[in-house]
Amino acid sequence: MAENLKVLSAGAVQPGLSRIAEAFRLQGEASLEIDFATAPAIAKRVGAGALPQIIIAPPDLLESLATTALSARSVVLGRIGIGVMVRAGAPLPGIATLAEFLNSLRNAGQIIYNKASTGIYLDSLFERLGIATLLEAKTIKYSDFAAVRNHIANARDNEIGFGATTVIIENAGRGVTFVGALPAEIQNYTSYAAALTSNAGDDAAAFLDYLATPAAKAILRSAGID
């Protein structure tokens, strides 16, 4: 068996990627050692000299790394939307329409999200909707989804949390409930792609090929990565 492939990946794709890695291993291929991080953390680590064999991140981040870290080969995994969560057992806020969503935000005790792709979009969305000032005093931002989830799981004041739909669904049963995706007219999708680095060998190239197979695509779709 070859050495484990080193993969640095955005956390939003973890539900699908972990299953794909296991399927790849069961076919007699290499095992993957996957380190999940936010997109800003990936950029920082690669900038500091970390160089796994595969990086999975939004295409714009991969493009910014291309001249120094990546080879020309990449595969698109799909896109992921933003979802809403509350503490398990808490009343579900209305989010089916934009009007319901805005009303729920106004009534929330706190608004919780991360400082990565989800948070960057929400900051701009709330500005565009004219409610940024109203929400500012009750908004708390964390560096990653795990901290957001833990806050919501221990909520006591009608908190509303946000995150990638994939990871919220994956964490159901860990103290949070998935309410649903953002209303269609304000939804934002982040795309993700996998790219080989200049440190990649044949095993890494084989995994990249596997990511493009119908079997891998089916796993991604089942995890909410379209």
Q: What is the model's pLDDT at position 1?
A: 45
Mean pLDDT of 198-218: 93
Q: What percent of the chain clears pLDDT 90, i.e. is strictly above it?
A: 78
Q: What is the model's pLDDT at position 40?
A: 87
Instruction: Give the residue with greater pLDDT, 175 vs 65.
Output: 175
CA distances from 103 to 46, 123, 185, 216 (A): 41, 17, 16, 40
Options 3.20.20.105, 1.10.357.140, 3.40.50.2300, 3.40.190.10; CATH for 5-79+191-222 is 3.40.190.10
| CA–CA distance, 210 with 215 (Å, rounded to integer) | 8
Q: In the 8-state DSSP scheme, what is residue 144?
A: S
Say whether pLDDT at 190 is over 70: yes
* pLDDT band at residue 28 under the 50/70/90 scheme: confident
Mean pLDDT of 25-51: 90
Q: What is the model's pLDDT at position 155?
A: 93
Domain residue extents for the chain: 5-79+191-222, 82-186
* pLDDT band at residue 50 under the 50/70/90 scheme: confident
Mean pLDDT of 127-143: 96
**Contact present, 61 and 39 (Cβ < 8 Å):** yes
Q: What is the model's pLDDT at position 64?
A: 87
Q: What is the model's pLDDT at position 221?
A: 92
Structure tokens at 105: 């935000």
Mean pLDDT of 30-49: 90
What's the mean per-residue pLDDT of the chain? 93
Looking at 27-87, list the stretches that DSSP marks H as alpha helix, in order from N- to C-terminal side.
39-47, 59-65
Q: How many CA atoms lie within 13 A of 159 on its CB side?
A: 27
Q: In the 8-state DSSP scheme, what is residue 29?
A: -
Mean pLDDT of 182-204: 93
Q: What percent of the chain clears pLDDT 70, i.e. is strictly above it?
A: 98
Q: Residue 135, class by beta-carbon neighbours within 10 Å (0-12 exposed, 13-18 middle, 19+ buried)? A: middle
Mean pLDDT of 151-178: 94
Say whether pLDDT at 29 is over 70: yes
Options 2.115.10.20, 3.40.50.2300, 3.40.190.10, 3.30.1280.10; CATH for 82-186 is 3.40.190.10
Residues 6 or more apart whose CB falls under 8 angstroms from that of 218 comprise none
Mean pLDDT of 65-72: 75
| CA–CA distance, 66 with 183 (Å, rounded to integer) | 34
Q: Model-level pTM?
A: 0.84
